[in-house]
Structure 1
Amino acid sequence: MKRSSDRTIKWLILLTPTVTIGLWEYTRHAFLLPYLSMELGNFLAPFIVLAVTLTLVLGLFRRLEQSQRALRRQQAATASLEERESLARELHDGIAQSLFLLAVKLDQLDRTAQDEAVKELSGQLRETVREVHDDVRQAIANLQQPPSPASDAWVVPLRELLGDTAGVLEAKAEFRWTIPESRLTGKEKVELHACLREALINVRKHARASRVYVVGESEEGGGFRCSVEDDGVGFDGDPMKAKERFGLKMIRDRAAKIGWTFSAERRGELTVVELRKAGADA
Structure 2
Amino acid sequence: MSYRLIQMLTVILPTILIGGFEFFRHDFLLGYLSMQTGNVFITILTFVLSLLFSSWVFHIIRIKNDQLAEEQAKRAVYEERERLARELHDGIAQSLFFLNVKLKQGDVAAASRAVSTIDHHVRQAIFNLRSTPEEDGSLNSRVIKWISEWSSFSGIDAKVDFEIPNDLFTIKEEVQIFAIVQEAFANIRKHSGATQAHIDFKGTQEQWQLRIWDNGCGFDITLLSERKYGISMMRERARQVGAGFQLSKSELGGTKIIVTKEMQK
Alignment TM-score, normalising by the size of structure 1: 0.43
Whose helix fraction is larger, Structure 1's or Structure 2's?
1
Q: Which has the larger radius of gyration?
A: 1
